[in-house]
Amino acid sequence: MAPLYEQNTLHIDAALTDFAIGYGQDPSNFIGARIAPPVFVSNISDSYWVGGKEAFNVPNVKRVAGALFPRVNLARSTDRYNCEGFGIEVAVTREEVAMADAALTPEQDATQTAVEALMLNAERRIAAIVQSTSSFPHYHALADDEKFDNPLSDPIGIIENAKEEIAIKLGVLPNKLVLGRKVYKALRQHPDLLGRVSGVMVQRMLNTQQLADFFEVDEVIVPLGRYNSASDPDDAVLADIWGDCAILAYVDPTTGPMRARKVCPIRTFVWTGSPGGGRFAVEQYYEPQTRTNVVQTTDFTDEKVVDNDALYQFTTVLSA
């Protein structure tokens, strides 16, 4: 069987790139794009405008005939993003290709493995930034009597106080609540919340929509992404990427380009000038020494904090 590509010759595989992009849009486990929406940029590094809060100022607008108009200046500044390159490759032997029922299936499997690795790394980067108190300084460490698995705690009152803090600093109420898997489990069976639902016998545990209604946010997000936390990759010790988190955030539902006034805690800058013109471009080359076709997948991004007033987190959320 002839090699797919000659040695050291890289070629953008359009079919596999389309497959990778389509696969990468699956939001079932990874929630990073819902907290750090992508903004596509043509330059790998550049400046962008940072808007101020002048919309909340109350200037003196009274004017007499013939007088100059009162003037206000935009409180804009600039910041920079710098997209870094991320990539991984997966080997596909010629024997695997030859034995496959459909010739493209091994390359699709390799592409899926590579995309999952890139998405997993991106998710961990976003989770680490979001939960860093140096990136987002607004947080509250729950005392023992406040913890969400304490049946005597008041989760609605605690979250309402945090929402008010965001409103004072940002001018809008948060619209998303991210709950780690164990935190979600604790809140969905919290006695104080269950006691507010009619028909308690039917509602033994609450779902995400009911919790969103209680806390008056647009959605409650429960991240399901996990990673192998063992030092030896052959030992599978799966841990939650987002841990025991409880995070309030405001993400503009019509998030668009950075030139628009869109409130968001963090954005994922994606370089469109990369090979393939976006995320998860797939290239292939042939390695004659091992008689192997190698699938490479690349990603160029910068996860950047753009408004640290748009996020509030709780720490020490659970007792255990």
pLDDT digits (tens, 9 = 90+) for 24-75: 445 578 999 999 999 999 999 999 877 777 667 777 888 888 888 888 777 6
**182-235 tens-digit pLDDT:** 999 999 999 999 888 765 445 578 999 999 999 999 999 999 998 888 888 778
Tokens 């991004």 belong to residue = 301
Domain assignment present for residue 140? The answer is yes
Query: How many domains is the chain built from?
Result: 1
Domain assignment present for residue 62? The answer is no
Domain assignment present for residue 150? The answer is yes
Domain assignment present for residue 73? The answer is no
Distance, in Å, from the CA atom of 19 to the CA atom of 298, rounded to the nearest integer, reads 14
Do 154 and 191 meet the contact criterion of CB atoms below 8 Å apart? no
Query: What distance, in Å, lies between the first and last C-alpha atoms of the chain?
Result: 57
Burial class (CB in 10 A: 0-12, 13-18, 19+), 117: middle
Mean of the per-residue pLDDT values of the chain: 84
Distance, in Å, from the CA atom of 265 to the CA atom of 62, rounded to the nearest integer, reads 36
Domain assignment present for residue 297? The answer is yes
pTM of the model: 0.84
Domain assignment present for residue 130? The answer is yes
Alpha-carbon Rg for the chain, nearest whole angstrom, is 24
Query: Which amino acid, one-letter code, is at 199?
Result: G
For residue 211, the domain's CATH number is 3.90.1690.10
Domain assignment present for residue 206? The answer is yes
pLDDT at 1: 40
- The 10 Å Cβ neighbour count of residue 153 is 21
Give the residue-averaged pLDDT of 104-108. 74
Enclosing domain of residue 145: 11-26+36-44+85-315
Which pLDDT band holds residue 17 (cuts at 50, 70, 90)? low
Domain assignment present for residue 296? The answer is yes
**240-267 tens-digit pLDDT:** 999 999 999 999 988 666 555 678 999 9
